[in-house]
Amino acid sequence: MSETISAEASAQASGAAKQKREFNKLQKRLRRQVGNAVIDYGMIQEGDKVMVCLSGGKDSYTMLEILRSLQRNAPVSFSLVAVNLDQKQPGFPEHVLPEYLDGIGVDYHILERDTYSVVKEKTPEGKTTCALCSRLRRGSLYGFAEDIGATKVALGHHREDILETLFLNMFFGGTLKSMPPKLLSDDGKNIVIRPLAYCREADIAEFARQMQFPIIPCNLCGSQPNLQRQQVKEMLAEWEARHPGRLESMFKAVTNVAPSQLADRDLFDFEGLEAKQKHLRQTRIEALDLGAELDTD
């Protein structure tokens, strides 16, 4: 009997140790990916005040936690302030985020804007609310960033978000664009960064689960059926299941663009190719003439 109990205890201890090792590997991977994104795109500079937009979802919780971790050992000094936009959705648990942020000792603001009523009023029956909701939310957060003197606005979009947006724009918008890791807002007042740009959604979900973040679901848009983004998400997941590594390859393509191999006349001077050809030919002829002169000497 005692031997059975001892074996069970040993198995449990071994399982717990393995789980801890896997979590440490996951955390290090996320830290490395966020750190690389920050360095590659120059996201955070000395003295920056980074406004972390915290929705209560897995992505923004993870972003805040990883940035806090990097902050402790970063070669530059920067501050973090969490901001949640309370959109006055019915049933929104207003106490969850303040309690969590007080518990971990992070400075924060709760910005109250009744965008929910505006979205419901302006969106026709049967239409999705995402576009208007996103625009109102973005405007509120950008304006508040100015009010508190934030130099960077951090959003929790990850690798799959970037790829989904790429395909959404191609399929439904007729444009080849996505979410850049770093962006200057149209009015030039805000620099937006996406520190999770290199991170897989599955890793973020697992990290959030093990960290036991108090997740707040979005009942405004998450309950809408047949969202175009959801359809694209399912398509990409199916591709990845059939051909593992495809999403990684597609994300590399986003960072490795060849304008001359596309068809955007604003990005590449197609009309000037003849002039370029003439210049190259002339350069080669002059080089050949010079070579002939040197051989004669």
DSSP string, the chain: -HHHHHHHHHHHHHHHHHHHHHHHHHHHHHHHHHHHHHHHTT---TT-EEEEE--SSHHHHHHHHHHHHHHTT-SS--EEEEEEEE---TT--TTHHHHHHHHHT--EEEEE--HHHHHHHHSPTTS-SHHHHHHHHHHHHHHHHHHHT-SEEE----HHHHHHHHHHIIIIIS------SEEE-TTSS-EEE-TTTT--HHHHHHHHHHHT------TTTTT-TT-HHHHHHHHHHHHHHHSTTHHHHHHHHHTS--GGGS--TTTS-STTHHHHHHHHHHHHHHHHHHHHHHHH-
Q: Is the pLDDT of residue 237 over 80?
A: yes
Q: Which amino acid is at 226?
A: N
- Tell which wins on pLDDT, 133 or 275: 275
Report the pLDDT value the prediction gives residue 192, as an integer from 0 to 100.
97
Residues facing residue 184 across a β-bridge: 191
Separation CA 40–CA 59 (nearest Å): 21
Q: How confident is the model at residue 149 (pLDDT cuts 50, 70, 90)?
A: very high
- Tell which wins on pLDDT, 92 or 84: 84
Separation CA 216–CA 58 (nearest Å): 9
Q: How confident is the model at residue 129 (pLDDT cuts 50, 70, 90)?
A: low
Report the pLDDT value the prediction gives residue 49, as an integer from 0 to 100.
98
- Tell which wins on pLDDT, 148 or 225: 148
Q: How confident is the model at residue 222 (pLDDT cuts 50, 70, 90)?
A: very low
Separation CA 262–CA 230 (nearest Å): 28
Q: How confident is the model at residue 132 (pLDDT cuts 50, 70, 90)?
A: low
| Alpha-carbon distances of 37 from 32, 80, 139, rounded to whole Å | 9, 17, 25
Summarize pLDDT for 39-72 with one digit per residue, the tens.
Answer: 999 999 999 999 999 999 999 999 999 999 999 9
pTM, to two decimals? 0.85
Report the pLDDT value the prediction gives residue 295, as an integer from 0 to 100.
62
Q: Is the pLDDT of residue 123 over 80?
A: no
